Amino acid sequence: MRCQQCGYRYDYDFLQHVYQELYNVPPNVTPSREVLIAPTPPRCPSCGYQEPAVQISGGKPYISRGDKVQPGKLQTVFKGDQIFVLKCIYQFFEPKRWDVIVFKNPQEPQINYIKRLIARPGETVQLIDGDVYIDGQIARKPDAVQEELWMVVYDNDYQPVLPAETRFNGHSWRQPFENRLGGTWDLAADGPFVFTLDDAGGAVSRARYNTAVGNGFRATYAYDDPAHYGQLPVCSDLMVRCYAQIGDESAFGVRLGKYGIAYEGWVYADGRTAILRISPEGTAETLAEGLADVGAGAKLFRFANADHLLRLEYGDAQITYDLGLAPDAAGTDRHIEPVVELAGRGVVQLRHIGLYRDIHYLEGYRATEAEPLTLGKDEFFACGDNSPASSDSRLWRGPGIGNNGLEYPPGIVPRGYLVGKAVFVHWPGGWRLGQEPLRWIPAPDGMKFIYGGK
C-alpha cells in the first residue's frame, strides 16, 4: 500500500484469520475485492503517519477524524508473491548461510515455510543485539544480502501533504533533522527536499536526527501492529545515504553513534576520505583513509555501521574499517541510544537524503548470548526477516515431527525437510484493469532476484 500522506510504498501484513471473519472467505484464499485495513491501521515506515481506521456504514466506507467524517478508501489486498524455487540444488550443493530457503515446518510438515538460513550443521549460533554470531564471531552478510535487508527509518524524498495532522507518531509532522549547537544547515533550501550549507566561517555545522519527532530506531516493521512498537529493541546498525555536492574548500560527513561511541565518515573537497572515531572529549582518531574523485556535481554518499563494519562510499570510492568480530568488539553499553548527525563546513548541497537500519533479529527461546545452540549433523537454523512476527527456529517450543515416531530437537530444520532455494520473485502480487475480476497484470517493480549466501 501507499502512505496517503507522503506516498511511500510499503508492505502491510495480511492476517488471514481476520479477513476470514470479516469477509467469510475460506482459509488460504485472499478476498477478490478491496477490503478494510484490519485489524489495526499501519504506520508509514518513513514519515510515521498512522493510517486512520476505516469503518463501514450503510455499505460505504468512512474515516472518522475528530468531529469530522470523511469518505474512506478501501485497500486492495493482492495475492502473495509467486517465487521460483530451485528444488534440486541442495542435492548437489551445501546450503549457504543467508540463503532464503523453503522447507517443511518441522512441527507441521504438511506446511511449507520460507525463511533465511542462519546456521549450518556443526556450528554454534547466537543472536546478540540483533546480529548473528557463529562460533563466537559475528557473521557478516554478503553485500547483495545486506542491500536487501536495509529498512527505511526516514526518506526525505517523501514529504507529507497535510503535515498539520496529528497522526505522525502522535503529533503533527515536522522535519526530524534539526540544527544543533549553532548549526546553519538550511533544511528547506529547495522546498523540503534539499539540504544546503553555505557558511564561509570554516566551522562545522551539524544537524541531528531527532527520534522524538521522526520514526525511532526500534526494530519495527510496517506490516506489524504499531501498538507493539514500544516493546521492540533499538537497532544500532544504521546507514545514511544521500547525494552530496561538495564545494571548494568544503567537507561533508555523517556521524553514527553506536553503544555510546561516535564514528564519522568524511569526504573533503581535495578528494580525501576518512573514517574517524570520536572520543567523549571530542578528539578524532583516524581509522581509515582513502581518495575519491570529488569533481563537479553530486555523487552518492553512504556511511554505514553494520555487523561491526564501518563502510564509507562516495561515488566509486570506498573505504572500510573492521571493528572486530567478538560480541563486545564494538562496545558494551548496548542500552545507549544511537546518534545520527549530518555534518559539514563550507558549501554543501544534499539531495535524496535517507536513513536506514539493518535487520535486527530478536532473541527467542534458544541461540541467545547466554544459551548458545550447537547444531548437530544435518541440522539447520532458520529465521524470518520479519523477526518480531516470525515463527522460526528461535521460537518453536516443541520437537519437530519425523517419520515412525522420530522427533527432532526444538528449533531444528532437518536436512530432509529442505525443499529448495528461493531465487526469483516472478509474479509479484497482481493488478487489474477497471473492474475486471482477475488481477492478471504483475507489478513489474516487484520482480526481483532473491539474494543469498556466496
**What CATH code is carried by the domain that includes residue 137?**
2.10.109.10
Same-domain check for residues 236 and 166? yes
Q: For residue 37, is it left (φ>0), alpha (ψ between -120 and 50) or beta?
A: beta
What is the pLDDT, as a whole number, of residue 308? Answer: 98
Same-domain check for residues 206 and 121: no
C-alpha–C-alpha distance, residues 126 and 131, integer Å: 8
Residue 110 has pLDDT above 60, yes or no: yes
Burial 76-91 (b: 16+ CB within 10 A, else e): ebbeebebebeeeebe
> Which is it for the CA torsion 91, 148, 49, 217, positive or negative?
positive
Average pLDDT for 166-185? 95
**Residue 69: its pLDDT value, please?**
39
Q: What does the buried/exposed string (b/e) look like for 369-383 if buried means 16 or more CB atoms within 10 Å of the residue's CB?
A: eeebbebeebbbbbb
Do 155 and 281 lie in a common domain? yes
**201 has a pLDDT exceeding 90:** no
Band of the pLDDT at 10, cuts 50, 70, 90?
A: confident
Would residue 327 count as lying in a domain?
yes
pLDDT tens-digit profile of 221-275?
A: 887 778 788 889 999 999 999 999 999 999 999 999 999 999 999 999 999 999 9
Q: What is the DSSP letter of 72?
A: -
Residues 174 and 127 in one domain: no
Quick one: 246 and 140 in the same domain?
A: no
pLDDT over threshold 70, residue 67: no
Asked whether the bond before 39 is cis by omega within 30 degrees of 0, the reply is yes
The pLDDT of residue 437 is 57
Which of 25-39, 123-137, 162-176, 400-414 shows the lowest mean pLDDT across its residues?
Answer: 25-39
Query: Of the given ranges (54-68, 142-156, 234-248, 440-454), which has the lowest mean pLDDT?
Result: 54-68
Inform me whether the pLDDT recorded for 452 exceeds 70.
yes
d(CA 102, CA 177): 41
> How many CA atoms, within 13 angstroms, populate the side-chain half-sphere of residue 435?
0
Lowest mean pLDDT among 15-19, 128-132, 384-388: 15-19
Are 326 and 396 found together in one domain? no
What pLDDT, on the 0 to 100 scale, is given for residue 432?
A: 60
Nearest to 430 by CA among 444, 417, 418: 444
Taking phi over 0 as left and psi of -120 to 50 as alpha, with beta for the rest, 366 belongs to beta
8 A C-beta contact, residue 343 and residue 242: no
Number of domains in the chain: 2
Residue 71: per-residue pLDDT: 47
Q: Which residues pair with 130 in a beta bridge?
A: 361
Closest CA to 40 of 223, 289, 172, 208: 223
For residues 434, 440, 441 and 443, what is the CA-based torsion angle, rounded to 10 degrees?
Answer: 110
- Average pLDDT of every residue of the chain: 87
Give yes or no: residues 244 and 283 share one domain: yes
Q: Tell which of 337, 357, 377 closes a domain.
A: 357
Predicted pLDDT at 190: 74
Report the C-alpha gap between 348 and 247 in whole angstroms: 6
Q: Cell numbers of 446, please?
A: 516487484
Is 290 part of any domain? yes
pLDDT at 41: 79
User: What whole-number distance in Å separates Cα of residue 314 and Cα of residue 243?
Assistant: 9
Residue 74 lies in a domain: no
In a domain, 5, yes or no: no
d(CA 277, CA 126): 28
Per-residue pLDDT at 70 exceeds 50? no
Asked whether the predicted pLDDT for residue 73 surpasses 60, the reply is: no
Share of the chain above pLDDT 70, in %: 83
Q: Mapped to the 3 state alphabet, what secondary structure does 202-240 carry?
A: CCCEEEEECCCCCCCCECCCCCCCHHHHHHCCECCCEEE
Coil vs helix vs strand at 343: strand
Using an 8 Å Cβ cutoff, are 414 and 400 in contact?
yes
Per-residue pLDDT tens over the stretch 133-153: 999 999 999 999 999 999 999
Co-location of 155 and 289 in the same domain: yes
Is the Cα torsion angle 151, 156, 157, 160 positive or negative in sign?
A: positive
Query: Domain range spanning residue 291?
Result: 151-357
Identify the pLDDT of residue 192. 84
Whether 75 shows a pLDDT value over 60: the answer reads: no
Domain termination site, one of 302, 328, 357: 357
pLDDT of residue 200: 79
Contact between 408 and 416 (Cβ < 8 Å): no
- In the predicted structure, residue 72 carries a pLDDT above the cut 50: no
Beta-ladder partners of 302 = 241, 313
Q: What are phi and psi of 353, to 5 degrees?
A: -80, 130
pLDDT for 225: 78
